[in-house]
Amino acid sequence: MPEPWQLGFQDAAHPVMEEIIFFHDQIMFILITIMTAVLWLIVKGLSGKSYHRYLIDGTLLEIVWTLIPAVILIFIAFPSLKLLYLMEEIMDPSLTIKAIGHQWYWSYEYSDYQAETLEFDSYMIPTSDLNNGDFRLLEVDNRLVVPINTHVRVLVTGADVLHSFAVPSLAVKMDAVPGRLNQTGFFIKRPGVFYGQCSEICGANHSFMPIVVEAVSLDKYINWVLSLHSS
């Protein structure tokens, strides 16, 4: 959950999100180094009364300031490509969930169980019904419950207009397009509650259809599934 005035990312719960944060920090370090070096050269150039001839023009200088950016770009490109492949790779999922965006709520279907498909709607809790400590505009009446240390596949679609299923801590952001199934997935490493929202403007109540993913142990997840069956 983000804090007020937070500048960085939310705490990662998914290995891919950890890699994204690491890559971001690496790029920021390179950017700050380049900005510092360029600023120093500008200050030195403006404060001096004379210039060294080979700092203005020269074959060696041209080679150096062409090769250095090329090396930096290569240094950035390889981890970027690795991260892209990690984000696209979907392991053999142990659990498949279908998330359907509506105006203006989410519905979820668990269809891996032979007996019947477990399905429910998830509406935002109005401000007047919140308990002490609840987050306004983020709490829902039915959370998306998943087990930890499990490869979860999420099939995302829309029932009416475009929506977007987004949970920052899990590195998940997938468009919900009517008539089309998009696929994403995550692997949650620790128990917790992770908040997201619809990230595609979908109408008047776009800001009032949050997503809450609750990661629990396998035993608690089984008990939760059995309670849904019994109800």
pLDDT tens by residue, 23-56: 999 999 999 999 998 898 888 777 877 666 666 6
Mean pLDDT, range 167-187, rounded to an integer = 92
Domains within the chain, CATH numbers bracketed: 15-88 (1.10.287.90), 95-230 (2.60.40.420)
DSSP letter assigned to residue 124: B
Q: Please give the pLDDT value at position 87.
A: 79
Q: Which amino acid is at 165?
A: F
Q: How many residues does the chain have?
A: 231
Would you call the peptide bond into 224 cis, given omega within 30 degrees of 0 as the criterion?
no
Alpha carbons within 13 angstroms on the beta-carbon side of residue 190 total 10
Q: Average per-residue pLDDT in the chain?
A: 87
For residue range 86-140, list pLDDT tens digits in order. 777 667 888 899 999 999 999 999 988 766 778 899 999 998 888 888 888 899 9
